[in-house]
Amino acid sequence: MKPMERPYYVTTPIYYISGSPHIGHAYTTIVADVLARTARTFRPTFFLTGTDEHGQKVANAAAAAGKTPQEWCDELVPRWKELFAAYHVRYDDFIRTTEPRHVEKVRRVFERLQMSGDVYLGKYEGWYCVNDETFWLESKLVDGRCPTCGREVQWISEDDWFFRLSAYRDRLREHFLAHPQWVQPRSVYNEMMSILNEGLDDLSISRTSFDWGVPIDGGGVIYVWLDALLNYITAIGWSEDDARFKTWWPAQTQLVGKEIARFHTIIWPAILWALGESAPDLVFAHGWITVDGQKMGKSVGNAVDPFALAQRFGADSLRYFLLREAPFGSDFSYSEEKIAQRHNSDLANDLGNLLQRTLSMLQRYRDGIVPDPAGGSDAELARRFAPLPMVVRDRILDLRFREALEGVWELVTALNRAIDERKPWTLHKEGRTGELNAVLYDLCEGLRWIAILLHPFMPERMSEMWQQLGIPGEIDEDWSSSLRAWGGLLPIGQTALAAPLFPRVELPTLA
Ligand code: MSP
């Protein structure tokens, strides 16, 4: 187990309110939730998510719907909150960039940058991608289109404020070299390093040709990316509550999709340094959920409704799938068939059947009461799995979710094997009560461990399993006391045989 470290702060990108959310949006937030739930088991934790509401992309979406941008955002934000609730996400704060608590501080940042000489007035002439809210040099366009999303770009020519990003290039390179783990995965680190090696241009940080943003004295609005990045510090008390801010900053883990890595690993640290603050410990750029090799997205028309999906498979099953299917960092292709296969094999068969078999044997042989093992617990099982909680916790905090789950599945497999090998039905028939009690106890104890270790991944299903196992209270979040040694489960608990935890789903018929 990692030593007691300082409080843990994890963030997701804040989401553009340009339409309804899809499963790709739920992805980053679910991952952050798994991290936060795990970190909370041993240290103070703060998990921030929210919405990015300014900028031309949102303004255009609102105009197309015949609404003011503020009306549009106010109507859509509940949809995002419903999405996170539907997927059992427990964030500590949800920040909206239109809130006064954010807007005031963004203005303060701008004034500070003006005073420190980090910004200057100049003329911006070049291309702009509204979808990504990104300025592009002509030389970077691909076939005249945005190199990130492939959409058309528009020519803009305006008097803007510029941030002296170029002045931070050497410091950024030094930071990358001194902290080779600070941007992950390695492929993204290398890509960012090559951007730094090529050289940096100063960054336009205002827009004068439209007005949906944080206003600048003297005209124009602040560039939406500067406004948005600042959410990570405005939400935790930057510049008004120093004690609070210092508790959480620098963040240990900032999760982002790989297409926005440059903003978070080049522009963001430079802005922080200009304000006299530190860069975050880690920016992890994850891969995309793809359909037919393309990033899932609303405008491509391949977006999957996350509400319908949660109805069909269960939100926890989806959470499990998203973290188990591919190593975190890689792209993975989405298909309902894959979700159904994972659900049926890992959850319905391996885990669900284990629980069902255990509870029905308890019902049949022991009136549903967890028996006393009377010192007969399987010492080999206890020895083998003693390190598991530490292994799982470390793997989660290292963002190796798939390996963490594989670790828990070793226990699931070992318990299924224990049923097959120790054959409780034979022990019962032959009246070997002591051995029967021991094996039934071990199964319940193993399931208790599994419920605790999988709780960050499947909070709702594991709480249900906890209840079925007849353990009083909520799932204990303090792993270090509840998983200290095999045998923590009190005998005498009254278990309840209920409907299957993970009912099998039919495989969708392929077209
Ligand atoms: N508003 C900016 C972020 C500002 S952070 C200071 C933004 N918003 S976004 O809504 O377009 O994307 C937010 C996150 O959703 C990104 O991390 C992005 O990678 C993620 N995803 C959107 N579609 C996705 C997939 N198809 N797959 C995985 N993640 C996806 O960028």
CATH of the domain at 385: 1.10.730.10
The answer, yes or no, to whether any atom of ligand 1 lies below 6 A from the CB of 25, is yes
Task: Give a yes or no: residue 452 inside a domain.
Answer: yes
Which residue of 22, 263, 288, 292 sits with most ligand 1 atoms within 8 Å of its CB, as the best mutation to test the pocket? Answer: 288
Q: Is the CB of 26 under 6 A from ligand 1?
A: no
Closest CA relative to residue 373, chosen from 470, 441, 471: 441
Q: Residue 434 corresponds to which tokens in the numbers above?
A: 């002591």
pLDDT at 148: 87
- Both structure tokens of 151: 């959409």
Ligand 1 pocket mutation, candidates 27, 109, 188, criterion most atoms within 8 A of CB: 27
295 lines ligand 1 (CB under 6 A): yes
Whether residue 187 is contained in a domain is answered as no
210: in domain = no
- Give the C-alpha separation, 405 to 34, whole Å: 12
* Integer Cα distance of 395 and 323 in angstroms: 12
pLDDT at residue 36 in the model: 98
pLDDT-derived band at 166, boundaries 50, 70, 90: very high
111 burial type by CB count under 10 A (0-12 exposed, 13-18 middle, 19+ buried):
exposed
User: What's the pLDDT tens digit per position in 309-339?
Assistant: 999 999 999 999 999 998 999 998 889 999 9
Report the relative pairing of strands 134-136 and 119-129 from DSSP bridges: antiparallel
CB 237 within 8 A of CB 101: no
Is residue 50 in contact with ligand 1, taking CB distance under 6 Å? no
Q: Is 123 exposed, middle or buried (0-12, 13-18, 19+ CB in 10 A)?
A: exposed
Do residues 374 and 437 make contact, with C-beta atoms less than 8 angstroms apart?
Answer: yes
Does 449 reside within a domain?
Answer: yes
Note whether residue 406 is domain-resident.
Answer: yes
Instruction: Please give the distance, rounded to the nearest whole angstrom, from the Cα atom of residue 113 to the centre of ligand 1.
Output: 27
For the beta carbon of residue 4, count every other beta carbon within 10 angstroms: 8
Residue 223 lies in a domain: no
The tally of domains found in the chain comes to: 1
Domain membership of residue 426 (yes or no) is yes
319-351 exposure pattern, b = at least 16 Cβ within 10 A, e = fewer? bbbbbbbbebbeebebeeeebbebbbebbbebb
pLDDT of 403-460, one tens digit each?
999 999 999 999 999 999 999 999 999 999 999 999 999 999 999 999 999 999 999 9
Those residues with Cβ within 8 angstroms of residue 335's Cβ, 6 or more apart along the chain or in another chain: none
Percent of the chain with pLDDT strictly greater than 70: 98
Average pLDDT over residues 80-92: 97
Residue 74 predicted with pLDDT over 80: yes
Three-state SS at 430: coil
pLDDT in tens, 247-266: 999 999 999 999 999 999 99
Its domain, for residue 485, covers 335-510
Among left, alpha and beta (phi > 0; psi -120 to 50; other), residue 237 is left
Q: Tell me the best of 23, 52, 225, 294 to mutate to test the pocket of ligand 1, counting ligand atoms within 8 Å of each CB and taking the most.
A: 52
In terms of Cα–Cα distance, which of 239, 231, 280 is closest to 15? 231
Instruction: Confirm whether 200 is domain-assigned.
Output: no
Question: Using a 6 Å cutoff on CB, does residue 257 contact ligand 1?
Answer: yes
| Confidence category of residue 347, pLDDT binned at 50, 70, 90 | very high
**What phi and psi values does residue 498 have, to the nearest 5 degrees?**
-125, -170
- For residue 287, the ligand 1 atom closest to its alpha carbon is 28
| Any ligand 1 atom below 6 A from CB of 296 | yes
Amino acid at 457: F
Query: Residue 474 is encoded by which pair of tokens?
Result: 């909520």
372 and 491 Cβ atoms separated by less than 8 Å: yes
**What are the start-end ranges of the E strands in 164-205?**
183-184, 203-204
**Going along 7-165, which residue ranges are E strands?**
8-11, 15-16, 45-52, 93-96, 119-129, 134-136, 154-163
State the pTM of this model. 0.95
